[in-house]
């Protein structure tokens, strides 16, 4: 049998695993390669640089038109809608299509029904 004794030397890391010099050289090589590729791409595709010089980097968009008085605009809209609901007028005069007040139209529909509409229970006014 052999006598197995521990190594009397203190245990340290292996110095042969990685070298700081190799890491630095690899990083420098990668940096130079990327920089060189950027320059080659700029030489091969110069239009991108030319576009930046000739045009602004963003499109010029017109400003939106804002309402100066939203409450007055809403009141005018409501008045137009109310007038259309409660008045007589032409929707398409050329075709002979007009409109009547909503209360009158609802009364006529309640009395006469809608042509072609399935018959159902009628509620007398």
At 39, list the tokens: 């320059």
φ, ψ (nearest 5 deg) of residue 60: -85, 120
Question: Would the CA dihedral through 27, 29, 31, 34 be positive or negative?
Answer: negative
Per-residue model confidence (pLDDT) at position 49: 65
Domain boundaries, the chain: 20-54, 85-113
Per-residue model confidence (pLDDT) at position 15: 63
pLDDT tens per residue across span 20-58:
898 999 999 999 999 999 999 888 877 766 666 776 667
**Residue 75 pLDDT grade (very low, low, confident, very high; cuts 50, 70, 90):** very high
Let me know the angle formed at the C-alpha of 121 by 118 and 125, rounded to the nearest 5 degrees: 115
Residue whose C-alpha is closest to residue 105's, from 90, 85, 120: 85
Contact predicate 85/101, CB 8 Å = yes
User: pTM higher than 0.85, yes or no?
Assistant: no
Per-residue model confidence (pLDDT) at position 37: 95
Choice between 60 and 71, residue whose per-residue pLDDT is larger: 71
């Amino acid at each position: 049998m052999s006598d197995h004794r521990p190594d009397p030397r203190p245990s340290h890391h292996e110095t042969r695993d990685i070298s700081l010099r190799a890491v630095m050289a690899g990083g420098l090589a990668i940096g130079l390669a990327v920089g060189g590729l950027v320059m080659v791409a700029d030489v091969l595709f110069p239009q991108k640089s030319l576009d930046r010089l000739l045009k602004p980097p963003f499109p010029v968009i017109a400003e939106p038109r804002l309402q100066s008085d939203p409450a007055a605009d809403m009141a005018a809209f409501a008045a137009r809608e109310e007038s259309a609901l409660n008045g007589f007028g032409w929707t398409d005069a050329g075709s002979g299509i007009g409109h009547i007040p909503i209360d009158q139209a609802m009364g006529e529909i309640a009395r006469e029904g809608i042509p072609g509409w399935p018959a159902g229970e009628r509620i007398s006014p």
